[in-house]
Amino acid sequence: MRIRGRVVSKKRLTVYVLGGSIVLFLLIQAVPYGRDHTNPPTTQEPTWNSAQTRAFAVDACFDCHSNQTKWPWYTNVAPMSWLAESDVKGGRSTLNFSEWNKPQDTGVDDIVESVRNGSMPPWFYSIMPNHKSARLSKAEKDAFAAGLAATLASSPPRGGGGG
């Protein structure tokens, strides 16, 4: 392969690419976004229909949809820190189980349907080793969806925007 008129061996090219990747990885660590891992206080939760429904929500939803996020070690390393921060901000602004007294940006049917159809929790969340409890079986999804429907029927979210 030729670079600037010189022939470069595959071994040397591999060293350049690997070295450049390491330098780039170290440089992106200086970007400050994604490292503010403070959790705001919980102001109000829904009135859960059962402890089991809340446990399902804690396991499958709370890391992105509450102020009780657990921040694993890899959320301190870019670019994973950027992705985690973005997911948590987006999740909390759409639905926040810790700020039930504030308007939520989603409706009851959407919440229950996202559990039923498997779009929540997202596949990439469920595959992480420390999120094994978010891998719900079909029976668990059905029980969680039914519990959510009952919870939200008696304690519906306030509409009108994210929190």
pLDDT by residue (tens digit) across 143-152? Answer: 999 999 999 9
Say if residues 40 and 67 touch (Cβ distance below 8 Å). Answer: yes
- Give the pLDDT of residue 142: 94
- 7 bridge partner residues: 2
- Give the pLDDT of residue 61: 93
The token duo for 55 is 């446990």
Say if residues 44 and 100 touch (Cβ distance below 8 Å). Answer: yes
- pTM of this prediction? 0.79
- Give the pLDDT of residue 163: 43
Distance CA 145, CA 12 (A): 56
State which residues of the chain have pLDDT below 70.
1-7, 160-163
Closest CA to 125 of 39, 61, 52: 61
